[in-house]
A and B are shown apart, each in its own frame.
Chain A
Amino acid sequence: MPSSRSPLHDVVIVGAYNTRQARVLDQPELEVLWDAVHGALASAGLPLSAVDGVNVTSSVRRLNAREAVMMFGARPSWTGNEIGIPAVIEAALAISAGLCEVAVIATAQAAEYTDRAATAPWTRPSNEFVECWGLFTPAEFALMARRHMHLYGTQPAALAEVAATIRNHGARHPEAVHHGRFVTPDEVLASRMIADPFHLLDCAITSEGGAGLVLTHVDRARDLDVVPIHLLGAGTDKQGMAYVTAPVWDRYGEVGRRAGEQVFAQAGLRPSDVDVLEIYDPFSFEIIRQLEIFGFCKTGEGGDFVMDGRIAVGGELPVVTNGGLLSFSHAGLAQLIQKPISAVQQLRGEIPDALKVRNAKVALTSNGGSGALFCDVLLLGTELTA
């Protein structure tokens, strides 16, 4: 039993939806966003008129939530400001506090990444202490991975196993940008180096698309003809500004550990109760790190843990079953809520048969990572464990 009941336990996710994802979307961004909103509401079985809480944004047009209220006929009374998992927490607390009853979180990105001579805009932090060194997100995370390899002997083959496993999940998902693109660990190791130890196939893809979630009060959800997914626990761990401070492993490498502990305490569960991990996968190494900090294995043992099919669908602990950022999509801010979305779809069985985790009841999701100096965690389940 959890030590104390969380207000998050009053709230459920009732709708989850991804729009079409593509390397570059040739659709107007607000059209993609509108699809995300309507798709999420259809998944919840709720009409637009039921929405009284809004956190709806877009990347290029920079639509903000208060503007977006107009898309809902100016009826909603609550708007959210957070992104990703914190947006889910924020909306859930608003519902629990009675500020709104049905909240839509949706975001979209289209036609942003057009300069192919440079890496994607969101990988290039602009700051006086990083930009001049040719740093970008792969290098920031590589500095963490290198230190882990030095301290614990983590092997490139382990990173390649993670990348191949997740990419092969996406290869079997018809909605994945890299659908059909199967790779072996050897092919990961043979792909061109980006920032060592990361090869191209160790890194997230770049793509565009939209996504949406619908949350409501657990009482309201009883009237709906959908399987509600409960918020069992949530936590955030913010250790400073990402891509400014040097990503020093000894100070920041375990970012997210305390959030994970908080989440399991709220839920009254342990890591061994988790059936599937829809955790953040910007780079292969981050999976190894998170398996350690969330308590699925001991510090330094993540590299061995991921081998021999253990983290594949059908294995002991399936990880990133939709292909994640490495294969499914890595779109704007949508990719952040796509973690809880893939968890909801897995727990509801709304995923191709080849990727189904049988009898999955509890899913752990996360955003962020070591190189980003933050890690947000959300635990979802088919029933309240409190």
Chain B
Amino acid sequence: MTRAKTIPLPRPTALSRPHWDGCREGVLRVQRCAACGSYEFIPQAVCTRCQAGKLEWVESSGRGSVYSHTTVYRPPRPEFDAPYVVAIVELEEGWHMLTNLVDCTPEEVAIGLPVEVDFRAVSDEITLPCFRLRRST
């Protein structure tokens, strides 16, 4: 499951730049509402839970579990090497994000398995927050 460098890369916006800068620095950043404390991802201008508080960037532990997953066999573009695993990860703090699970086979993946962030640099600017299975050692 190697990634070709020609896949479409994120183009950070003013709103999302702290997230992508964090990934490059090896930190998973997410917004949290100063009023209700709920986590917000993808980046928003207003808290989607309470619509009241200011959203602040905080660090996530980068640990969570597989919430749902699918293995893609027919990629949307030829630049992607199929098969690859797309997952929704539920972070320890209770928020969700889309990602790829790397360094595992499709057969190994199941809902509920523990995972951790695995940053993969794909360009000078962009590092992708992939996830890998947390294997007991």
Contact = CB atoms under 8 A, between A and B. Distances in A.
Nearest to B99: A133
A244 B9 CA distance: 14
A246 B98 contact: yes
B76 A196 contact: no
A50 interface: no
Contacts of A193: 71, 73-74
B123 to A, nearest CB: 11
B74 A247 contact: no
Instruction: Determine the interface band of chain A, counting residues with CB < 8 A from chain B.
Output: 35 or more
Contacts of B41: 246
Given A136-B76, A248-B88, A146 B7 contact: no
Interface string B90-122: 000000111110000010000100000000001
A132 B122 CA distance: 10
Nearest to A250: B67
A56 B76 CA distance: 30
A150 B68 contact: yes
A136 B72 CA distance: 9
A126 B8 contact: yes
Contact of A146 (B8, B97, B100, B111): B111
A134 B80 contact: yes
B113 to A, nearest CB: 12
Interface string A129-142: 11111111011001
Contact of B70 (A143, A150, A246): A143
B70 A195 contact: yes
A144 B68 CA distance: 8
Interface stretch (A84-92, A115-123, A291-299, A343-351): A115-123
B37 interface: no
* Interface of chain B: mostly helix, strand, loop or mixed: loop
Nearest to A145: B70
Contact of A195 (B42, B48, B71, B111): B71
Nearest to A126: B8
A247 B88 contact: yes
Counting chain B CB atoms within 10 Å of each CB, which of A133, A139, A248 scores highest? Answer: A133
A133 B78 contact: no
A128 interface: yes
Contacts of B16: 128-129
Contact of A135 (B9, B12, B98): B98
Contacts of A150: 68, 111
A134 B74 contact: no
B72 A134 contact: yes
B84 interface: yes
A130 B98 contact: yes
A38 interface: no
B70 A132 contact: no
Given A131-B10, A132-B10, A124 B76 contact: yes
A195 B100 contact: no
A192 B71 CA distance: 12
Contact of A123 (B9, B67, B76): B76
B76 A246 contact: no
A155 interface: no
A138 B12 CA distance: 25
A245 interface: yes
B11 interface: yes
B67 A147 contact: yes
Which of A134, A139, A192, A194 is most buried by chain B, counting CB atoms within 10 A of its CB?
Answer: A134
B77 interface: yes
A133 B82 CA distance: 11
29 contacts: A117-B77, A117-B78, A118-B76, A118-B77, A128-B10, A128-B16, A129-B16, A129-B42, A130-B98, A132-B9, A132-B122, A133-B100, A134-B7, A134-B72, A142-B70, A146-B69, A146-B70, A147-B67, A150-B68, A150-B111, A194-B73, A195-B71, A195-B73, A196-B106, A240-B48, A244-B42, A248-B68, A248-B88, A249-B68
Given A133-B86, A146-B70, A196-B106, 8 more contacts: A124-B77, A126-B8, A128-B13, A146-B69, A195-B86, A196-B73, A245-B42, A246-B98
Q: Which 5 A-B pairs have the closest CB atoms?
A: A128-B10, A136-B76, A142-B70, A134-B80, A147-B68
Interface of B: 7-13, 16, 20, 41-42, 48, 67-78, 80, 82, 84, 86-88, 96-100, 106, 111, 122, 126, 128
